[in-house]
Amino acid sequence: MLNQVVEYSTRQLDAVYAAIAHPVRRRVLNQLRPRGATVTELAAAHPISLAAVSKHIRVLEDAHLVRRTVVGREHRLTLEPAALGVAAGWLDTYRQFWEARLDLLEARLRARKRR
């Protein structure tokens, strides 16, 4: 049970860290902070192609950091706060990892003694 919890949050963290590891994606997140933006607005602020910006946006969407709403032709992006909340708890994730490891070590030591 605990292992499942750890596994689940490490999966989420994986995606979040991979997403924010890139400076362009961090900049995109900062741009989206006040009230979101359209894909075109975002692309205009970056000296890279629309295709390249779109790729970065997709990574952020896959990590559930950014939500896309399509209204007519406009693709509007807003921040998804929940995923960043997961990242904020990353020290706790480490604690859970080690608590779970030590639980297992303790169980193995007990089992060994009974043999």
Residues that bind other proteins (CB under 8 A): 3, 6-7, 10, 13-14, 17, 20-21, 26, 29-30, 33, 79, 81-82, 84-85, 87-88, 90-91, 93-95, 97-102, 104-110, 112-113
Least separation in angstroms between CB 3 and other proteins:
5
Residue 83 sits at the vertex; the CA angle it makes with 77 and 86, to the nearest 5 degrees, is: 165
Residue 63's closest CA among 37, 6, 25, 94? Answer: 25
Supply the Cα-derived Rg of the chain in whole angstroms. 20
Taking every pair of Cα atoms in the chain, the longest distance, rounded to a whole number of angstroms, is 70
Question: Looking at beta carbons only, is 13 or 39 nearer to other proteins?
Answer: 13
Cβ atoms 16, 81 nearer than 8 A:
no
In the complex, least distance from residue 95 CB atom to other proteins, rounded to whole angstroms:
5
Nearer to other proteins, 58 or 108 (CB): 108
Our CB check for other proteins shows the closer of 55 and 95 to be: 95
